[in-house]
Structure 1
């Protein structure tokens, strides 16, 4: 990620952004002190990077601060102000890699914008920070003179990196490499996914993008879980299978890869550590038109299980070995990402925020807020499919490269995925080449207007 950010220093593709409408009466001074205590406690938030030397530096507790600024805003311009601030590049060499913006509206209410670089944070880490922020803020409200004590991290990120390097240098590393070489190199390897696009692929990958999202409803989510249980699978594997079928139907390719992030926290002593632990794994699809939907689901389930058992091999190293000569027009190994955004149980209320959806209520101790849908103008991959279950509903957001796709195209893809998913959960014995793809409106248009 450091290398990719260095290639596109102005890109915000690796920024994590959360916008919150704060509840009336929020104590801003206590909130600012709580964030400083977070930085003092979690070493990752005091980290900077020497890009040329690929070195990570952790600064001493008390010696680093986060960026905080307040500004008045015009309600009509709030979204543009939030986007501009969220996209402002970080100085990786000097930091800080966490910044807060407080935007005060004319009615006296405030919007808090949190932006942190992905190099030092992931969804699990964001959940830890939210939990600790609630403890700190609530404690400072009760006693402004005493900063609450947080449970120390059992293992810091630097120790984790050292342990990982030692493991990869030995038998474990060789075993993991042999698995991935066989998984990705079998039958002559796996070609890049070549989806039809609205525009030719640029010679150099663009990180400009946008996002569309939809809620598919609680009924479909319940049926998804029922079919997953019937096939001894998870909702993640079931939705992955539907996405693989969609990509197969769009591209005509029988073999391709879809990337999916793993938590990367290989032992329980890392569960309380903030940092970027996520390790994407390439998941291989091997499909044909005659394959029953249930068999596609079972194949996806087994692919995920194999990948999870071998998730300890770092993706940058895997990409370097499998593709030593990189194609600058696309991301290595896979161009489509699928992620089931499921925060830890103690932070389940972050599910809507993880998809960038607005309206989700957030209560962290005495700190109350409501999520604001901000949108994005960047993309790490051609397509990133993000799923979650806020309030028991199945919601999907698609982050896409607008150098390749129009918004209307991605909206159709999202509708087609919903149709395929409904067909798969309703008729798992049916061949994937026969599953319905078009929406009711598209079928009507095809028959009445074009037929």
Structure 2
């Protein structure tokens, strides 16, 4: 695939090469990853020029690439060579490319932290972005940051440095040195940890759990809120060890042995101590689709655990199947579960959890009943003081009276050239790819409906508090982001509006969707 991993990022070398080929006077280009004496990988670009007497302006070519590529995709060396070495099969012979020297090196702009705040911020950046090297002038979004990671960054800064940094400030000042400057001028705002609740017979459900429970009661046979996954297994399978590992996970995360009931008209969660969990192993003669149809069954919310695991043998292949009800988990939870399962299975000891999901439920419900939520409520009520129009799209079929979830997806891939152009537009306008796609989606809906006032539901992780980063549970909220298009303006005007409205929505994301409705 001609992919490499640099600073924790998977990079398509072909994307850099295609950009170089569009630079003036470049005839051929090859990019490879090399290792320095410290085993650190770096990128090296080799170019063949149209005119041999010309020279490459390294600073200019770097600026050109920076217009559309993130910083981690910019080569450290630009070497001019007379021709690209080829193998007998006329393929590029990467082994024959010369070692880069100082003539091709671009002055390294990496700068280390110069004070304690910058040092601590560098460590937070590394942790949030999952990269090994961060300079104080590195742009958070060039290193792979996006809206979700920016929310996590703000939360961790609050926990580590007792200063609240608004999301819009991270977009405005995305480097370590800029945020350090903002922190040095800000007042202290003590970080409040989520407290553990005392043991009791049952606990109040979170807002999202109440939503899920109610929707499931409307149609108890509905499997829409199942979260299934399937993995092909290579090598030997130890069913007993897999089962024992999952039991460790169930002991670690109380939410994995939580079930739901109503008490005095209130939806509550109860934590089970005498649960029964087994991993079945089955032999099947069917397709993967038929296997999943058999495996994905309805859950009874009154019975824990609300997830199941199975190992299936089909012909000479083995599969690992997992299904979880959305009421106890979300997409991030599934990632945490798989990561911790892998670590426990390989014998690693995990650091004990400081809080459980029921502690978050109490924390969230207290906040939703407090005066602090009024500011967010006012924001959303102002946005929707006029009722939004119904979006009349040209559907193929009439909507049924009872909502069904039948439908299909249309999948396509955007080519390298368009992707580069999109990255360039997002970078020039200081927004994320998600915001750019949201603006494009609004245009798409306008073109198909003729409606200029459009509301799009955007899911957010709901993990604003840093204490929640390793928690399994249902945290997701939906933000009803409303954009009113000015048809006399340009697309860039719309993009700026979407960015502004998205940032305001993210800063007021604690008010739950059902509360707004």
TM range (shorter): 0.5 to 0.7
The answer to whether the 8 A contact 1:98-1:115 is kept is yes
Q: Does 1:197 align with 2:406?
A: no
2:409 aligned counterpart, secondary structure: strand
1:214 aligned counterpart, secondary structure: coil
Could you list the runs of 5+ residues in structure 2 that have no partner in the other structure?
Answer: 1-211
Q: Does 1:49 align with 2:247?
A: no
Give the aligned partner of residue 24 of structure 1: 235
The answer to whether the 8 A contact 2:283-2:312 is kept is yes
Give the aligned partner of residue 321 of structure 2: 113
Distance 1:84 1:195, change over 3 A: farther
Aligned counterparts of 1:80 and 1:102: Cα–Cα separation in 2: 15
String of CA shifts for 1:303-336, please: whole Å, max 9, x gaps. Answer: 11000000000111111xxxxxxxxxxxxxxxxx
The answer to whether the 8 A contact 1:71-1:104 is kept is yes
Q: Which runs of 4+ in 1 moved over 4 A?
A: none
Distance 1:218 1:47, change over 3 A: farther
Aligned counterparts of 2:460 and 2:219: Cα–Cα separation in 1: 25
What is the correspondence of 1:29-428 to structure 2 with a 5 Å cutoff? 29-50=240-261, 53-60=266-273, 63-75=274-286, 77-86=287-296, 88-107=297-316, 109-139=317-347, 148-185=348-385, 188-319=386-517
Q: Max radius of gyration: which structure? A: 2
Once the two structures are TM-superposed, the CA of residue 53 in structure 1 deviates from its matched residue by: 4.2
Once the two structures are TM-superposed, the CA of residue 221 in structure 1 deviates from its matched residue by: 3.0
Aligned counterparts of 2:450 and 2:276: Cα–Cα separation in 1: 52
Structure (1 or 2) with the greater helix fraction: 1
Aligned counterparts of 1:289 and 1:66: Cα–Cα separation in 2: 58
Give the aligned partner of residue 386 of structure 1: none
1:39 aligned counterpart, secondary structure: helix
Higher relative contact order (CA 8 A, sep 6+): 1
Aligned counterparts of 2:516 and 2:277: Cα–Cα separation in 1: 34
Could you list the runs of 5+ residues in structure 1 that have no partner in the other structure?
Answer: 140-147, 320-451
The answer to whether the 8 A contact 1:72-1:103 is kept is yes
Q: TM-score, normalised by structure 1?
A: 0.64
Aligned length: 304
2:435 aligned counterpart, secondary structure: helix
String of CA shifts for 1:258-287, please: whole Å, max 9, x gaps. Answer: 101111112111111110011111011212
Once the two structures are TM-superposed, the CA of residue 212 in structure 1 deviates from its matched residue by: 3.5
2:243 aligned counterpart, secondary structure: helix
1:280 aligned counterpart, secondary structure: strand
